[in-house]
Amino acid sequence: MSSPLSSLKYFEDMYSIRLTQLEAERKRGVKIIGTLCLFVPDEIIFSAGADRIILCGGKADTIPRAEEFLPRNICPLVKSSFGAIIDACCGGQIACSHVSLVDIIVAEATCDAKKKTYELLPEYRKTYVLDLPQRPNTPEAKDYFLSELKKFGMFMDTVTGHSITTDALRREIQSANETRKLLHRLYDLRKRDPPPIRGSEILRVMQRQFFLSPAQFQEGIRQICDELETRVLDIESKPRILLSGCPNAAGNTKVPDIIEQKGGIIVAEESCTGTRAFWDLVDEEKDPWVGLAERYLEIPCACMTPNEQRITRIKDLVTDYNVDGVVYSTLQFCHPYAIEKFRVQHALKKMKVPMLAIESDYGDADIEQIGIRVEAFLEMLS
Ligand code: SF4
Ligand code: SF4
């Protein structure tokens, strides 16, 4: 048996410490920003003197509340997040405690489900929507996003009463890059055969990336990396799986858990709770605003078109992590990732790498059926 990882306990213990910290900050007048997507740069929020907390919902219990307002056929992530917000703001009992800490929600114009839901948010919390170009590879896109980021910076100045200085922005970029480098170190360790940690354990860590403060998160990642350097996971040879697709917001670990319970080992995640969140660094040599605009437009989210960089990223991950098979996991009614599945499948077919597509929601009803399909897929890979 491999020894349990004591560094994972750090992340459990930090949960209540972080909530207490945010409450204390709020009492001191620090503004707390709620975010819902990777495209909103932490660097701008922190350099304006505010703090942030992620509001993406991964739990099923707030969905019925959301369905009083939203159509049922939109993705569970949007419904869960929105349900938590309206429940918290209307004195409900099932809300996540994060929402009540938030002064302002900074949302982003990505998929239709999110964009249209954000129109309903101002009734519950002050909301700012960061606009995004949809064709990120054009020169106009960079100019437009640069102006949007600066506009967002000015908004943050008025929210906190502190002007964002170039020095402060550079400091926050360095800090965010430090987090990204630490995560590269962690993910590099997973290239080993066998990897020293399960993907389901890593996911629970990654779900804390935008909840903890950067310093707290970095400390935890350092501890895990140090512990993993000398750890050998005592497992028989298992198929190495790349998990690709929609994000797994905190509370949703269903598909990764099934994959590893059925005998696979996840060696990397091509998702917003994985590589998409940290892969590219901001160029510290450039003007900080330009560096931010370029880096954030590189996020290979399926809301962008065309999204060739995602196909390239997946192919690279398959090779670099010596992947035996890809599990392509989408949330029900998520059109961007469901449609992009066909391009991913095509690319993997050319590489002769098998792919299993799973569509799921936040309920338990399909656990058995997913388990049967995953088991058959893993047997085929063995
Ligand atoms: S999948 Fe796209 S829209 Fe959703 S959180 Fe990630 S970057 Fe944002
Ligand atoms: S999972 Fe898909 S539908 Fe849901 S918020 Fe993300 S991009 Fe939109």
pLDDT single digits (tens) 355-375: 999 999 999 999 999 999 999
Domain ends where: 133, 162, 191?
162
Which residue has the least CA distance to atom 6 on ligand 1? 272
Which residue has the least CA distance to atom 3 on ligand 2? 334
Segment 3-17 mean pLDDT: 93
Cα of 6 vs centre of ligand 2, distance in Å, is 34
Asked if residue 353 is part of any domain, the answer here is: yes
- Helix residue spans in 34-108 (DSSP H): 42-47, 63-66, 76-89
Question: Is pLDDT at 14 greater than 80 in this prediction?
Answer: yes
Question: Is pLDDT at 89 greater than 80 in this prediction?
Answer: no
Segment 68-78 mean pLDDT: 97
Contact indicator for 258, 370 with CB cutoff of 8 Å: yes
**Residue 347 phi, psi (nearest 5):** -65, -40
Residues 71 and 127 in one domain: yes
Q: What residues line ligand 1, using a CB cutoff of 6 Å? A: 37-39, 110-111, 247, 272, 299, 301, 303
Is any atom of ligand 2 closer than 6 Å to the C-beta of 246? yes
Determine the atom of ligand 1 nearest the C-alpha atom of 272. 6
Question: Is pLDDT at 77 greater than 90 in this prediction?
Answer: yes
- Tens-digit pLDDT profile for residues 163-185: 999 999 999 999 999 999 999 99
- Tens-digit pLDDT profile for residues 271-307: 999 999 999 999 999 999 999 999 999 999 999 999 9
Asked if residue 337 is part of any domain, the answer here is: yes
Question: Is pLDDT at 96 greater than 70 in this prediction?
Answer: no
Domain membership of residue 195 as a residue range:
167-381
Kindly report the CATH number assigned to the domain that includes residue 94: 3.40.50.11890
Cα of 303 vs centre of ligand 2, distance in Å, is 8
Question: Is pLDDT at 347 greater than 70 in this prediction?
Answer: yes
Q: Per the structure, how many domains does the chain have?
A: 2
Asked if residue 299 is part of any domain, the answer here is: yes
- Tens-digit pLDDT profile for residues 313-326: 999 999 999 999 99
Asked if residue 1 is part of any domain, the answer here is: no
At residue 237 the predicted structure's pLDDT band, cuts being 50, 70 and 90, is confident
**Alpha-carbon distance values, 89 to 35, 154, 308 (Å):** 16, 27, 40
Kindly report the CATH number assigned to the domain that includes residue 171: 3.40.50.11900
Can you spell out the DSSP letters for 285-309?
A: TS-HHHHHHHHHHT---TTSSS-HH
Which residue has the least CA distance to atom 3 on ligand 1? 110
Cα of 334 vs centre of ligand 1, distance in Å, is 11
**Residue 186 phi, psi (nearest 5):** -60, -45
Can you spell out the DSSP letters for 166-193?
A: HHHHHHHHHHHHHHHHHHHHHHHHTTSS
Cα of 273 vs centre of ligand 1, distance in Å, is 10
Residues 101 and 20 in one domain: yes
Residues 156 and 283 in one domain: no
Cα of 75 vs centre of ligand 2, distance in Å, is 6
Residues 184 and 295 in one domain: yes
Identify the pLDDT of residue 1: 58
Identify the pLDDT of residue 127: 98
Contact indicator for 52, 212 with CB cutoff of 8 Å: no
Segment 260-265 mean pLDDT: 98
Residues 153 and 192 in one domain: no
